């Protein structure tokens, strides 16, 4: 199976990720062994115990002597609070130093996969890095990074893997710097294509440079506010906007002139068109 095929399989699992069966399908795809062993929290504070719907569970293991663990905790709240996650992880790390920590909310339709590594410059400082999975999350990057956790991609001989080797791969997969670098490389590639196309049309490279930059910045702005559900309560607003144009029987190649220009220079210049200023809701 190619890397791309593996990523697609994982993305398909993540697309409707809900409940233990989804997590079990994922860990099987990544070649970890299901365990399902509850952990004791008798020594934990009542305040922390009250925040959990179920006690932490060693959901799966990997490597020799089952030394690496995937620990799942279902929380009581519908939101996944990072402070609560840190409290629980700090308790679990005492006995499970080589682990991936997985959290789900009460309905198990929102998930956080949390990696903990120590800052190289300060060994005592823990860095908590997350991959979020849920209906509101974009899954391409999540599937790419989670695919890196496949044990077979580290070593075909699964039983020879040490917990330290597996932990090192997890640290790499959750590397925020690598994800950011990948994003900017792809952004630069799209920018270069757009600039070159505009230069061919206008014969003015400087204008093409400025216009391409402004255009992509506007797209990024729309992406940011759609993630906040500030545009029609739609986290995929730009995709919806494009698909609506495609089915609107408008004249060919008019999306930019008649749709995006209106969005950028008219709709966003009139607060009443798109937003309620206090509730940040879409007004048709």
Per-residue model confidence as pLDDT tens digits over 68-104: 999 999 999 999 999 999 999 999 999 999 999 999 9
| pLDDT (average), residues 201-220 | 91
Q: Using pLDDT thresholds of 50, 70 and 90, give the confidence band for residue 51.
A: very high
Q: Using pLDDT thresholds of 50, 70 and 90, give the confidence band for residue 233.
A: confident
pLDDT for the residue numbered 103 = 98
Taking residue 196's Cβ as centre, other Cβ atoms within 10 Å add up to: 13
% of the chain at pLDDT higher than 90: 57
Per-residue model confidence as pLDDT tens digits over 251-279: 888 888 888 888 888 777 665 544 433 33
The order of strands in the sheet holding 99-104 is 33-38, 57-62, 68-74, 99-104, 110-119, 122-134
| pLDDT (average), residues 192-201 | 92
Please give the Cα distance from 126 to 113 (Å, whole number): 16
Q: Using pLDDT thresholds of 50, 70 and 90, give the confidence band for residue 159.
A: confident
Examine the pLDDT at 1 and tell me if it is beyond 90.
no
């Amino acid at each position: 199976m190619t890397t791309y095929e593996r990523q697609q399989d994982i993305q398909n699992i993540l697309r409707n990720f809900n409940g233990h069966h989804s997590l079990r399908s994922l860990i099987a795809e990544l070649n970890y062994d299901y365990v399902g062993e509850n952990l004791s929290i008798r020594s934990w504070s009542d305040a922390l115990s009250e925040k959990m719907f179920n006690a932490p569970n060693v959901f799966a293991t990997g490597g020799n002597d089952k030394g690496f663990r995937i620990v799942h905790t279902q929380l009581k709240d519908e939101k996944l609070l990072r402070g609560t996650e840190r409290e629980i992880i700090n308790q679990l790390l005492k006995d499970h130093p080589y682990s991936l920590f997985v959290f789900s909310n009460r309905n198990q339709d929102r998930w956080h996969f949390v990696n903990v590594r120590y800052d190289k410059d300060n060994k005592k400082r823990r860095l908590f890095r997350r991959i979020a999975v849920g209906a509101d999350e974009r899954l391409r990057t999540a599937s790419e990074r989670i695919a890196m956790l496949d044990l077979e991609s580290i070593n075909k001989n699964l039983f020879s893997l040490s917990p330290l080797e597996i932990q090192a791969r997890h640290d790499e997969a959750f590397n925020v710097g690598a994800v950011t670098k990948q994003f900017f490389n792809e952004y630069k590639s799209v920018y270069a294509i757009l600039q070159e196309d505009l230069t061919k049309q206008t014969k003015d490279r400087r204008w093409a440079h400025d216009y391409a930059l402004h255009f992509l910045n506007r797209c990024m702005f729309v992406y940011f506010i759609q993630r906040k559900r500030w545009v029609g309560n739609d986290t995929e607003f730009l995709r919806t906007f494009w698909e609506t144009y495609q089915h609107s029987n408008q004249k060919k190649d008019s999306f930019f002139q008649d749709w995006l220009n209106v969005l950028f220079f008219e709709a966003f210049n009139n607060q009443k068109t798109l937003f309620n200023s206090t509730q940040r809701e879409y007004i048709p």
